[in-house]
Structure 1
Amino acid sequence: MSNYSTLFTRDGSSTVSFGGQTTRLKQAKEIGGNLKTQTSVADIRLKFEGQDGESAGFSDASLNGTTKIVRSKTSSSIDLFNGTNASGQGQTNVSAIDAFITGHQTVLDNWTTTAASGQAGTFEDSDGSTRYVDAKGRELDQLFTKTLSGALAYDQSVNHYLNRLDSENGNTADGKDYRALNDAGTVADGKSYTTMEHHWDESFGYIFGNTSGQNLIYKYIDNVDGLSKFAGTERQIFEAFVVGRIAIANKDYSSRDAQIGVLREKLGLIIAVRAVHYLSGGAKIIDAAGSGTSGKREDAFHDLCEGYGFVNSLRYVVNSGGARYFTDSEVDGFLATLDANNGLWDVTSTQLRDIADSIAAKSVGGLSWTLDDVNP
Structure 2
Amino acid sequence: MMIIRPIVEKDLNALKRMAENAGVGFTSLPANLDLLKARIADAEAAFSSSPESEENQSYLFVLEETSTGEIAGVCGIESALGLQTPWYNYHLGTLVHASPTLGVYEKSHTLTLSNDHTGCSELCTLFLDKDFRHSKNGSLLSKCRFMFMANAPERFNERVIAEMRGVSDEEGNSPFWDGLGSHFFAMPFAKADYLSGLGNKAFIAELMPKLPIYINLLNNDARAVIGKVHDNTLPALRMLEGEGFENLGYVDIFDGGPTIEANIRHIRAISNSKTLAVEIGDASPDDEAYPCLVSNLGIKNYRCTLINASISKAQSAGAIKLDQASADALKVAAGESVRIVALSARQAA
Which TM-score applies when normalising by structure 2?
0.31
The structure where strand makes up a greater share of residues is: 2
The structure where helix makes up a greater share of residues is: 1
